[in-house]
Amino acid sequence: MRMYRQLVAGSFILACSSCIKAPPLNPEADIETFTVNKQLLLSDVFIDQVNGRIVLNLTDKAYNSGIAPVITTTTGAAIQPASGDSIHFDDDTVRYVVRSEDGANTKTYKVELASIGAWKFDFEHWAIQDKDKYDYPLEEDGSTLWTSGNPGVALSGVAKDPAAYPTRSTTDKRFGDKAAELVTLKGTALSGLVGIKLFAGSLFTGTFNSTNALVEPLKATQFGQPFVGKPLRFTGYFKYVAGPNFQDKAGNILPGVRDSCSIYAVFFKGNTSLDATNINTSDRIVAVAKLKTTDDHPQFTRFDLPFEYNSSLPLTGKHMLAIVVSSSQYGDNYRGAIGSRLVVDSLNIIH
């Protein structure tokens, strides 16, 4: 009897084991980390998963001699060039191709080098993002030093049309053919579910991390680009008209409160970006140049702002600089007036 029970139990185990299938192969094809020797970097590496970009700020030595990044991918994925292979930047554009473990998906990442010579920006060159169709500014060499909140807005279900986004190009300019236009827009049904009732137009030097943009939107904005030297003044042109009704984060209209724009530059220590939680409060801030106005300026107005320095911080080591503009001063907290409109042109850092 005992042997019979053992045979039955053994048969049951074999039958069950035959029902257990091997887990499916991973369909993901992402680069998760891209590690470069910190001595070869001027700022942190940024992986733009949405647009398939890896943005590097390299020292001259790294640019001339090349780098050998250590890369991790999603489980089981294969990558070419391989992790640890040397790459150089004197010939064609460097691209990485990742193939998923199941072989069904591939993703290509383009390596972009961010390098700022003269800090002078005229916003003459723009492109439209392939998937979500929002505008973004380019430099003359095709590099991207500026970003906006548009990648986050894209997650909220807006129409795939540049005009549906709060930050875009405009022919309403002070010089040349184009300028940057920022408009505060009503939120979407999806954004309302997470308490976002409006989207302020925003534009800044840095990057936007879309990974958790709707969950932790203030940390999605990564402010700053490497800066060498001592900035003295921040100049440019702007025009601004506030929307008619200022609302709080819950969407309640606040009578007697008016919106205002935000235009400022922050010079700070280190090679790691600040974000919207600390861009105004970090103890790494060395100097700030900020426009102080609450009035409408329906015609283009020139500004010339001195950097005000924190005398307790020495000007040694690496530094970064962020230029930040927004159509609503408190837009990062989702307060402002729908319809507020800011246009900026010919921004310049004098150093």
Distance, CA of 291 to chain centre: 23
One DSSP character per residue, 243-259 reads -S-EE-TTS-B-TT---
Q: What pLDDT does residue 7 have? A: 41
**Range in 10-14, 18-22, 34-38 the model is least confident about:** 10-14
Q: Distance between CA 242 and CA 93 in Å, rounded? A: 43
Q: What is the pLDDT of residue 116?
A: 62
Tell me the Ramachandran region of residue 103: left when phi exceeds 0, alpha when psi lies from -120 to 50, beta otherwise. left
Q: Does domain 23-113 have CATH number 1.20.140.10?
A: no
User: Which SS3 state, helix, strand or coil, does residue 207 take?
Assistant: strand
- Residue 242: name the closest of 305, 184, 317 by CA: 184
User: Each residue of 145-174: b (16+ CB within 10 Å) or e?
Assistant: bbbbbbbbbbbbebeeebebbbbbbbeebb
pTM: 0.78
Q: Tell me if 199 sits within 8 A of 187, measured CB to CB.
A: yes
Structure tokens at 169: 């190009």
Report pLDDT digits (tens) over 52-106. Answer: 889 888 887 888 889 999 999 999 999 999 999 999 887 668 999 999 999 999 9
Residue 37 to residue 285: CA distance in whole angstroms? 25
Q: State the DSSP string of 137-156.
A: EE-TTS---EEESHHHHHTT
Is residue 276's pLDDT more than 60? Answer: yes
Structure tokens at 47: 């992986």
Domain boundaries, the chain: 23-113, 117-350
For 198, the 3-state DSSP assignment is: strand
pLDDT, tens digit (0-9, with 9 covering 90-100), for 116-170: 667 899 999 999 999 999 999 998 877 788 999 999 999 999 999 999 999 999 9
What class, spelled out in words, does domain 117-350 have in CATH? mainly beta
